[in-house]
Structure 1
Amino acid sequence: MYSILLSVFACLSTCYCLVAKAENRDHCLLLKQWLESSSVAVELSKKGFHREVITTVELKPDVLSDVRVLLVHRWPRGVYVDPYQLASLSDQHDWKILLDSAIDLELPAHKTSGFVTYVYPSHIGPTPRPLKVTIPVHGRYHEPSFVGKTFTSVDVESPELLLWTEKCTQLSSLQPHAAVDAPCTVSNSSTCQWVKIQHQQELSPLSFQFPVGDASLVAPVCGGTLLVTMSCCAALSRYMWKHRII
């Protein structure tokens, strides 16, 4: 009797494992199809030191219903995002953002380092409309130029598009799309293996143009400022002495 029960349990366990593997394989196949049909477009709006980076993600609809989307921006040291501004705008957009480090808003470009942001759209699963994320980005002040340059360029790479679903664990079957580690959620309490879309590397970087000072004018400007200051002080002192104001 016991041997019959054990045989039945073993058979059921084997069948369950085969069904689970088949479902996992089918789910990974659908995910790979979604990866190959997805696309990322990036554009830059506004001018000056205060810009907006607009990322549009096109996802193939009616494929999967439990896929999470993550955009990873790797920013250079010449720009920054304002955490306080993002917090004040949290009610106006449908995504959450995680910073990998603290942001000092006052430091010039040459005294800072690059940083990474993780953007989590609140919508999970397929959608008939594109996902659009608009991030306010600000330029930092740069060191003055000693060679007569009036503008400097800061190149910003396009974001990486990552997808994740718990139903696909055989990530090796998704090649050439690579598996990368990233925070599972905006709370940053755990790390998951996301799948990075490979073909998006063809996107060209965005180029920011920021004005810089002319270092060759430091001596004339300082000398002229000192001369004007001394002349004003002398004229004011003479006027006060003449009219016995002191």
Structure 2
Amino acid sequence: MKVRGLKVIIYILLDVCVCFSTVYPKFSRSLDKTGFHRELLTSVDMPRELLPDYFDGGDIDCHMLFREVIPSGAYVDPFQLQEQRHFGGPDVKVVDPVDVEKPEVQSFEIVALVYANLTSDGDSWVASYSLPIHLRYHSISPDVDNMEVIFQKPEIFLRCNDAKSGITHYGYRGETVRQESLGCSSSDIILCDWSMIQLHQQNSSLHAWVPVGKTGHFTIVTVGTVIATTAACFLLIAKALKCYTTKGTKDS
């Protein structure tokens, strides 16, 4: 009897562990395209059991906010984001000033707030977006062919809106790290209460490699550039003289 009772307790504990392991948001992230212009794809899948009380009444909708920290080796273009927003692109507020011309060594991290709605796919609620990312040029190096740019996991916040009583903060059935007052939307200066949610994926950073020039190639590149530029100038001068001579011959 004692052995059977112990087995029952073990099975119950295992069931509880399995149950709890399935009720956390699922986070996925990838870096699409190649070269200096990439797409940062991010998605959060919220199982229905995390948000049952919100949607039963039909008057509450939820939103997510992603706080992206773009490393100094990359940047987002605010004008590009604004243009894409008109055609269904991500709703983004760039917190820091952005100089798209500066190289990595003269740049700093950029904080961008990405707002996304939760939409149902039947079994869960999903928030996703595609953020255009541009890599910066890096300084030349004596012995390195490529430099690494690391994109860390964003901080993710949840907020729900009650259509009857106005904007109200709700928790969710999971681990809430802390609450913060952030803009209600990308164009709103009014602050709302957001709840940061806990994700269990520990290794979710992404890596991009940027090719860099070598100091050993400095002389070759400089001489080659001077020769190519000089040759192009002589060709343009010769072309201009030929055109001028031809025109003078026709006029005479």
TM-score (norm 1): 0.69
Residue 91 and residue 215 in structure 1: after superposition, are their counterparts in 2 closer, same or farther (change >3 A)? same
Alpha-carbon distance in 2 for matches of 1:80, 1:59:
29
Distance in structure 2 (CA, Å) of the matches to 1:230 and 1:115: 41
Structure 2 distance, partners of 1:107, 1:86, is: 19
Q: Which runs of 5+ in 2 are unaligned?
A: 1-19, 55-59, 161-166, 238-244, 246-252
Given candidates 129, 137, 154, the residue that maps to 1:133 is 129
Structure-1 separation of matches of 2:203 and 2:86: 30
Write the mapping of 1:119-130 to structure 2, written as runs, cut at 5 A.
119-121=114-116, 123=117, 128=122, 130=126
Q: Taking structure 1 as reference, are residues 201 and 117 closer, same or farther at Cα in structure 2, changes over 3 Å only? A: farther
Per-residue CA distance 1:183-203 (angstroms, 9 max, x = gap): 222124133332112234614
What displacement does 1:232 show? 9.3
RMSD (Å), alpha carbons:
3.4
Instruction: Give the match for residue 146 of structure 1.
Output: 142
- Please state how far the C-alpha of 1:112 moved relative to its aligned partner: 1.1
Looking at structure 2, the residues matched to 111 and 152 of structure 1 have their Cα atoms a distance apart, in angstroms, of 15
Equivalenced residue count is 201
Matched-pair contact (CA < 8 Å) for 1:177–1:198: yes
**Compared CA separation, residues 86 and 225, structure 1 to 2 (3 A):** closer
Mapping of residues 74-153 of structure 1, within 5 Å: 74-93=69-88, 95-121=90-116, 123=117, 128=122, 130-147=126-143, 149-153=144-148
Measured in 2, the distance between the counterparts of 1:116 and 1:216 equals 36
Distance in 2 (CA, whole Å) between partners of 1:231 and 1:193 is 64
1:26-74 deviations in Å (ceiling 9; x for gaps): xxxxxxx9xx532221111111101101111112336213332111111
CA distance in 1, matches of 2:91, 2:75: 17
Unaligned runs of 5+ in 1: 1-32, 238-244
SS in 1 for 2:102: coil
Higher strand share: 2
Comparing 138-147 and 190-199, the one that deviates more: 190-199
Residues 1-246 of structure 1: pairs in structure 2 closer than 5 A: 36-61=23-48, 63=52, 64=54, 65-93=60-88, 95-121=90-116, 123=117, 128=122, 130-147=126-143, 149-165=144-160, 166-168=167-169, 177-200=177-200, 202-226=202-226
Counterpart AA for 1:213 = G
Contact 1:40 1:161 in 2 (8 A): no
1:74-95 Cα shifts (integer Å, max 9, x gaps): 1111111112221221133264
